[in-house]
Amino acid sequence: MLRKGDVFAGYTIRRVLGHGGMGVVYLARHPRLPRLTALKLLSRDLSADAEIRHRFEREADLVAQLEHPNIVNVYDRGTEDDQLWISMQFVAGTDVATADVNVLTPGRAVQIVAETATALDFAHASGVLHRDVKPANILLAKPPIGRPERVVLTDFGIAAVRDSETTLSSAGSITATLAYAAPEHLAGAPLDHRADQYSLACTLFWMLTGSVPFAGPNPAAVIQAHLSRPVPPLRSLRPDLPPTLDAVLARGTAKRADLRYDSCAEFAEAAKAALFAVPGPWQQMRQPTATGVILRAREPYPPHQYSRPATPPQPYPQAPPHTHVTPAQPHPQPAPPRPSTGNTAVPPRRGTQRRGTIDFPGGRNHPGYIVPPQPRRPP
């Protein structure tokens, strides 16, 4: 166990974030960048297995290419003192396993499942299986002020090195993971994306009830229950939940993978629809924020109650821009005709010369120039 101030692979250890049968996770400072990371060290017995080393490196390389807001980022990997390590994004917050199920409303639970399903489907489309979906691997990131929490799925790649060939007695955490493992995973059959869906459905069962679907005195009893017994009805533990959720969980945890939903998102949408099919207090979808204020998440319309909203009133049509509209006015009456002065000659006064005039349109005459008298020519 490393202590505060120890340096491993260049990373300065701050404190322990968690530990289990697979190894220990430390909060560490990056050797060159001003950034804190989650440094996970695999246990030495797993690091000594050549097959596990190969799978770990391959899966870590695949997960490093997954860029999704609901998937933790993988920064680096390597080997130090014959021990495998991986550097991941540090998510400040908590995980679903440590959340108080007494205040975890059903609406918030299905919202967490929906965001997790988005991350899983994205990984599946990239050819990556998680293989260890459980509450402890679903992080609830501390949100900025006034924003809702963000769900982040972690432990990709690390979980992939633990397959059906791993012995159940090698670590206590493996026994705990059995509570969410798909039957085909436990039976050693080939896996596909529907194995993660089974684990996600078991996780939703835990968030709604505070209990795992199957419990037993030993790993063999838990495995047998996953292989043969149906998931208990939710109302046996939570009578306040709608019965429509039981059918969704029954399909999501079907023993045969081909009887489950085609995708994790389809399972999550079915859970939402079942939750909102019947009005009730379980429809609350409150999410805590950084300020402690409770925000209500957006609730979808129930499928059978949805109706197109009424057409909003249209605004009164206005004149096009830069168009001047003048109000209508009566036509003015024509002006009365003015008497025309024409070219009426004014008799000149004795001793004066005739003054000529210039005619302009409109009947107005203006004084022109003086026209001198012309002498009369003899015939």
Give CA–CA dist 200/265, Å, rounded.
11
Under DSSP, the state recorded for 281 is G
Q: Which residues are catalytic?
A: 132
Of 203, 204, 195, 180, nearest to 256 by C-alpha is 195
Q: Are 181 and 188 in contact (CB under 8 A)?
A: no
Give CA–CA dist 203/205, Å, rounded.
5
Under DSSP, the state recorded for 146 is T
DSSP H or E run through 93: strand 93-95
Under DSSP, the state recorded for 350 is T
Q: For residue 258, what are its two tokens?
A: 């081909």
Give CA–CA dist 89/330, Å, rounded.
79
Q: What Å distances lie between residue 190 and 164, 220, 374, CA to CA?
A: 9, 20, 132
- What is the DSSP pairing of strand 23-29 with strand 355-360? unpaired
Which residues contact residue 220 at a Cβ distance below 8 angstroms, ignoring those fewer than 6 apart?
A: none
Q: What is the distance of C-alpha 275 from the center of its chain?
A: 20
Q: Is 255 annotated as a binding residue?
A: no
Q: Are 253 and 185 in contact (CB under 8 A)?
A: no
Angle at 136 between CA 132 and CA 137, to 5 degrees: 50
Which residue positions form the known binding site for ATP? 40
Which residue positions form the known binding site? 40
